[in-house]
Amino acid sequence: MAAPPSARRDRINPHFPKLVEMTHSYVYGDVWERKELSKRDRSLITVAALVALGWEAQLNSHIGRALANGVTREEIGEVVTHLAMYAGWPAAMTAAHVACDVFEAADAKGE
């Protein structure tokens, strides 16, 4: 599978081509294609990890990917709420704002 389009990745490609190549070939070409977990499950796990780590920029794109992989907005809400107890309130509140931004952008596009 090809990596999903990413303007952020395109931006860094001239300066970090190997990192972008590894993203395409290893992350999306290998890890995301393993059959042991569905892409939906991988998305839930990835969103949870990014919430816990507080990595907003990556969380933004992966929430969109999770929606495309069949995760519902309600499930994303539950992941964020659940992680408030384990990753911390600030991480969950930040993730909730990122998720709302993604949802609003999707609504604006009619998705």
Task: Look at residue 111 in the predicted model and tell me its pLDDT.
Answer: 84
Are both 105 and 59 inside the same structural domain? yes
Are both 32 and 54 inside the same structural domain? no
Task: Look at residue 12 in the predicted model and tell me its pLDDT.
Answer: 93
Q: Tens of pLDDT along 2-22?
A: 666 678 889 999 999 999 999
The CATH code of the domain that includes 69 is: 1.20.1290.10
Task: Look at residue 6 in the predicted model and tell me its pLDDT.
Answer: 75
Are both 76 and 101 inside the same structural domain? yes
Are both 15 and 59 inside the same structural domain? no
Query: Containing domain of residue 99, as a range?
Result: 38-111
Are both 22 and 11 inside the same structural domain? yes
Task: Look at residue 17 in the predicted model and tell me its pLDDT.
Answer: 95
Task: Look at residue 44 in the predicted model and tell me its pLDDT.
Answer: 98
Which residues, other chains included, contact 98 with Cβ-Cβ below 8 Å and sequence gap of 6+? Answer: 56, 59, 60, 63
Task: Look at residue 41 in the predicted model and tell me its pLDDT.
Answer: 98
Q: Tens of pLDDT along 61-107?
A: 999 999 999 999 999 999 999 999 999 999 999 999 999 999 999 99
What token pair was written down for 24?
Answer: 């395409």
As a whole number, mean pLDDT of residues 38-50 equals 98
Report the domain count for the chain: 2
Helix (H) / strand (E) element for 107: namely helix 89-109
Q: What is the C-alpha to C-alpha distance for residues 54 and 52, in angstroms, rounded to an integer?
A: 6
Q: Tens of pLDDT along 16-43?
A: 999 999 998 999 999 999 999 999 999 9
Are both 60 and 83 inside the same structural domain? yes
Are both 12 and 48 inside the same structural domain? no
Rg (CA), the chain: 14
Q: Is the pLDDT of residue 108 over 80?
A: yes
Are both 47 and 28 inside the same structural domain? no
